[in-house]
Amino acid sequence: MDRFIVVDLETTGSSPRQGDRIIQIGAVAIEDGRITHVYSTYVNPGQPIPAYITHMTGITDEMVADAPTLEEVLPDLLRLLDGRTFVAHNASFDLQFLQEALVEQGYYMFDGHVLDTVELARFLLPMQGSYRLVELADDLEIVHERPHQADSDALATAHLFLHLLDLLKRLPLVTIQRLQLLVSSFRSDVGRLLRQIEMEKLTEAALEQPAGDAEAEWDIYRQFALRHRGIPGDMPLREATAAADTTLEEVIERLMGEGAALEHGLPGFQRREAQEAMMRAIHAAIEEGTHLLVEAGTGTGKSLAYLVPAVLWAKQHHEQIVVSTNTIPLQEQLFQKEIPTLLRVMPFPFTVAKLKGRGNYLCLRKFEQNLEEGAESGSLELRLVKAQMVTWLTQTLSGDVEELNLPPSGTLFWQQVRSDANSCLHRQCPWFSRCYYFRAREESKEADLVVANHSLLMTDLENDNRILPSYQVAIIDEAHHLEEAATRHMGAQHSTAQLQFLVERMGTDCTALLAGYVSELSHWREDADEKAKALLKALAAFQQQARDDLLAWTKQLFQWVSKAGEESAETGRIAARYSKASFAGRSERLVKAGDRFIQRLLFFAESLEQLMALAKGGDENPPFLLRSALTDMRGLLDDVQEACHTLHFLLHCDDPHFVYWMEGESRTPRKHVYLFAAPLEVSQELSPLFANTRSVILTSATLTVKNSFSYLKASIGLDQLPEARVRTLALPSPFDYEKQGLLLIPSDFPALGSEDEEAYLHAVIQGCLDVIRAAHGRTLILFTSAAMLRLVYDAIKEQAGEEGFTLLGQGIDSNNRSKLVRKFQREPKAVLFGTGSFWEGVDIPGEALSALVIVRLPFAPPNHPVTVGRAEKLKEAGKNPFMSRALPQAVIQFKQGVGRLIRHQHDRGVVVVFDARIVESRYGRVFLQSLPPFQVQSGPWPKLRELIAPFLNGMPAPPDT
């Protein structure tokens, strides 16, 4: 298999059987690992090329008018195909057009071998963010000048294929052999390629040829190849350094003074007064033992501003500091950008570790067991996921799922193989010395800085600080999310979907495995087999009864929530708050049915425990595979107990400090129901964080409302501490917003909440088109509703497409924020539609983002059960829920949204707010007073829209009239 032909076809559509035709062919011949021939031609399809194809490919009717017909070009292509393996990116697409063309012209169909570079890339590049050709080429630095042109696509695919082939040949023999067990049902002929590579490696081994330096990269153990990383005992201890004699001012001058280290270590670095002021304030707070809230405007460089004093304190006092972020992406950003920079430029060495929740790490024992039991079973997609993970083991040092690009089926598989405390064998596990989770724990014990996330921080608080290393100083980034993270973590939830999964887990796979061991025991225990059969029969009956009970209970719950609640246009779920009184009378049967189901689970668990005891047979040291299976079953039983406890709490709703509600899926055939509980306040639960530490630094770009920290302090309980223990600091952004930013507020849009909702929607649609045209794309449109996002997207898609704009909709073109942002930055006239997560954490500097549209002020849904419950509590305390909570939350979210626009000192941009409440309502001025000093213009939209293009072209805006 040394001769390949890489093919790419451009076509008039996606289905040859529906009449779509080839319009361009690109082909690249490869022999002995090098490109030997390149072929390309346009093809006259004999029909017009659709406008959207021309827009995507750049191929027009005029370009193919004088091109040869398919009949004329096929002989050349067939000569290239002869004796070669067909290779393409998403091969099934190109192959279907080729086969249809061959049959149509009277040739035999191509019957050679096929390889798909998408399939290869998915398991050979398991950490790749996207498997689209253009993004693979970009990440791998493959020249790809004209995406969606067959000649350029074919050449880029050829270089990609050669890269993948090289990666495959570099894999160790045990990995090649593991992969062979998984690829038999792949769509392309990967198995044949693997067998050839295996034979080459076996031949090399037989001839005793050295494998090369690459073999040293891997730790071969139990027929797996892991990336070599040593064992925990090999980790260096913290060194004594010159840090003890270094002052913060000396560090600042070394890093930031003229010709200093950061100028060379960080491209585009500029010295900023606010950043240095933040460093000094944090250092002083830690020294004095006070808590500090720091609002650092966009462009301050807050990550470096808190990392520098943290490292200095940790090294000087030999104490660990915990840094917590709200999101894993920011945690990853610190490790990819700021921390490597500091490791290079700080005047002394320091150590840093990343720690996440246990479920983020792979359990090697579970993964091995899963492959041993069913390497050749499962769907094609599941096998591809397993192959991806087998290769990933040769690349990962952390075993962190965040590295993997998993499809939905992979996410479900991860639940089976992730690390968890309930099924851990600890030191009895043969993988213990290589365990990713325990490795991360050991590294965190030795590090000066431990970077965690808010979820793990909450877990640590809940477990009396037994998860994270002992710390006296914590730095909480994205601190405006701390209350939300605590609410999510300290609440409870369960669903009928989770319960269904749990019931199935207690079924045939586990019991059959144990039954096999019981049968072996019957050789020396005559009664074991009979007892096992009886227990297995009882388990099967219990499981079926549990299925039936769950199905009936799900229907009852769905009927109740359908009558009691309202459907959200946003989520498609029906939500209803409930309390003990809700289940009085006829509704009491819901609780009784739930209790019956709980008892059924407990009976099931009891019988399963008896079977486990029988399988163990009194042996205190059973064989590894049996011990492994028993441990997994013990973990399952613990999960059952936990589920029963959570369900009882959710059903009986006895705690007055919680709000309870249900949500039913109205738009799916299964009609699953979700039960939730959330604390009405979290200050009590967070109090140990502030009471038991020396200093907690809370920072974000958005902590204040109208220049006051009062809302945040009250929401997390800092207002209950003595004033001397809590300091605040608001640092302005270094950007010149009066020159760089223009804020436009149309005064003639229909009022929100008016009867004519259609008129408002029409005005938004036209307004978005106006902004897009004036800014030449380069626009982010933020919504508070996914339903409205789709309405506006659909309304302008055709017109915008005809004018050459590329629309990218969250939940329409992709749910992956990173993919959408990358494509937005790559396309010259792109428009990004987002909601939810797009209001913050999106960083698009430069001209790629020049206009920001905010359709509505981001108030939380007023009828959400948590919102209603907390509003009632505020009213009981004599407070105004809107002014005390709803408004501050919306202002902080609004500030986050506006912060997406100006990211660097040379950026220039326009914000347009299509919600006149910001100038017409009494509370609207709070939004404006909480923003940086933009130029603000309000007036008729036809007048305002004329200001956009001149301002973006460098002209100052006229004074507001």
Pick 155 or 408 by higher pLDDT: 155
User: Quick check: 914 and 749 in contact, CB under 8 A?
Assistant: yes
Nearest to 178 by CA among 230, 229, 231, 218: 218
Confidence of residue 520 (pLDDT cuts 50, 70, 90): low
Give pLDDT, residue 524.
46
Q: Cβ-count burial of 643 within 10 angstroms (0-12 exposed, 13-18 middle, 19+ buried)?
A: middle
Give pLDDT, residue 85.
96
User: Quick check: 41 and 122 in contact, CB under 8 A?
Assistant: no
pLDDT tens, 685-737? 899 999 999 999 999 999 999 999 999 999 999 999 999 999 999 999 999 99
Pick 437 or 842 by higher pLDDT: 437
Q: Please, which residues bridge with residue 390 across strands? A: none
Confidence of residue 22 (pLDDT cuts 50, 70, 90): very high
Average pLDDT over residues 277-295: 97
| pLDDT > 90 fraction of the chain, expressed in percent and rounded | 64
User: Quick check: 37 and 28 in contact, CB under 8 A?
Assistant: yes
- Please report the sign of the dihedral spanned by the C-alpha atoms of residue 376, residue 378, residue 384, residue 385: negative
Q: Look over the chain and give the mean of its residue pLDDT values, rounded to a whole number.
A: 89
Give pLDDT, residue 124.
97
Confidence of residue 234 (pLDDT cuts 50, 70, 90): very low
pLDDT at residue 569 greater than cutoff 80: no
Average pLDDT over residues 198-210: 79
User: Quick check: 324 and 452 in contact, CB under 8 A?
Assistant: yes
The DSSP letter of residue 598 is: H
Assigned token pair, 738: 């009066």
Q: How far is CA 584 from CA 61, 576, 578, 596, in A?
A: 72, 16, 11, 18
Q: Which residues contact 386 (CB under 8 A, 6 or more apart)?
A: 182, 370, 371, 375, 378, 413
Question: Which of 489-498, 752-761, 837-846 is least confident?
Answer: 752-761
Confidence of residue 436 (pLDDT cuts 50, 70, 90): very high
Instruction: Give kind and range of the element (H or E) at residue 160.
Output: helix 150-170
Q: Which residues contact 576 (CB under 8 A, 6 or more apart)?
A: 560, 561, 564, 565, 566, 661, 662
Its pTM surpasses 0.85: yes
pLDDT at residue 636 greater than cutoff 90: no
pLDDT tens, 873-920? 999 999 999 999 999 999 999 999 999 999 888 899 999 999 999 999
Nearest to 823 by CA among 787, 777, 791, 855: 777
pLDDT at residue 238 greater than cutoff 60: no
Cα distance between residue 432 and residue 428, in whole Å: 7
Chain centroid to Cα 718, Å, comes to: 31
pLDDT at residue 467 greater than cutoff 70: yes
pLDDT at residue 758 greater than cutoff 70: yes
Nearest to 831 by CA among 767, 741, 785: 767
Assigned token pair, 472: 């006296």
pLDDT tens, 333-360? 899 889 999 998 898 999 999 999 999 9
pLDDT tens, 803-829? 989 999 998 988 888 889 988 998 889
Domains in the chain: ranges and CATH: 3-170 (3.30.420.10), 492-679 (no CATH), 737-952 (3.40.50.300)
Average pLDDT over residues 254-273: 78
Give pLDDT, residue 307.
97
Give pLDDT, residue 232.
41
Residue 283's identity, in one-letter code, is H
Q: How far is CA 701 from CA 481, 585, 887, 910, in A?
A: 12, 51, 18, 20
Confidence of residue 633 (pLDDT cuts 50, 70, 90): confident
Give pLDDT, residue 531.
76
Nearest to 829 by CA among 812, 853, 851: 851
Q: Cβ-count burial of 529 within 10 angstroms (0-12 exposed, 13-18 middle, 19+ buried)?
A: middle
DSSP result, 313-342: HHHHHT--EEEEESSHHHHHHIIIIIHHHH
pLDDT at residue 236 greater than cutoff 50: no
Q: Which residues contact 671 (CB under 8 A, 6 or more apart)?
A: 554, 555, 558, 664, 665
DSSP result, 508-519: HHHHHHHHHHHH
Cα distance between residue 661 and residue 698, in whole Å: 31
Assigned token pair, 641: 């107990």
pLDDT at residue 220 greater than cutoff 50: yes
The DSSP letter of residue 610 is: H
Average pLDDT over residues 449-467: 92
Average pLDDT over residues 749-769: 85
pLDDT at residue 1 greater than cutoff 80: no
